[in-house]
Amino acid sequence: MNEVDLIIFQWLNSWAGVRELWDTLIIFRAEWLGYWIGGALGLFLIFGKEKKKELRMVFEALAASLISRFVFTEIIRYFYSRPRPFEALSNIYQLLEYSPGGSFPSGHAAFFFALTATVFFYRKIWGIIFFLAALSIGLARVSAGIHWPSDILAGAVIGILTSIIVNLVSKKFKPER
């Protein structure tokens, strides 16, 4: 961990344990907002006007998310096991119980940034809203004491790059009309 990582972590973590309502919001964003993002993605299938385009977007989003989280993130974790903040520091406020190790890169960030980048390719405005939600999840996980800021940044980069790759591959196999 570098000094910038530590300073940003300590500032974000200082928001935890201040007020019960704020802790509840951090926990909601860190643990539950992702389900809302998934539900919102599903709504495109129900209410989208261009069914084939919506189905393609959802398929790509899920493929990119799963590949970034369960392939790329796990390969990196296999070779590099970084302790979580609550393992490395004694003076933090930990809002969520979490198993040790596997902090870098953030699997949540990889998953949700891959999903949101894919949405952005198809629906710009919704993509921006999804990006803000993914960023909120990442910041909340730092505030909750379970990730370093660089874990989130690395996960976001992995997720976005995976989404770009999946989108390019998908375009290669898109049937011509």
Does the pLDDT at position 105 exceed 90? yes
Q: Please report, rounded to a whole number, the percentage of residues in the chain having pLDDT higher than 70.
A: 98
Long-range contacts of the stretch 33-38 (C-beta < 8 A, 24+):
33/133, 33/136, 33/137, 33/140, 34/108, 34/111, 34/112, 34/137, 36/133, 37/112, 37/115, 37/116, 37/130, 37/133, 37/134, 37/137, 38/115
pLDDT at position 177 over 60: no
CATH of domain 3-172: 1.20.144.10
Task: Report pTM.
Answer: 0.94
Instruction: Give the per-residue pLDDT at 173.
Output: 83
The per-residue pLDDT for range 30-54, each reduced to its tens digit, is 999 999 999 999 999 899 889 899 9
Does 176 score more than 80 pLDDT? no
Domain boundaries in the chain?
A: 3-172
> pLDDT tens, 73-85?
999 999 998 999 9
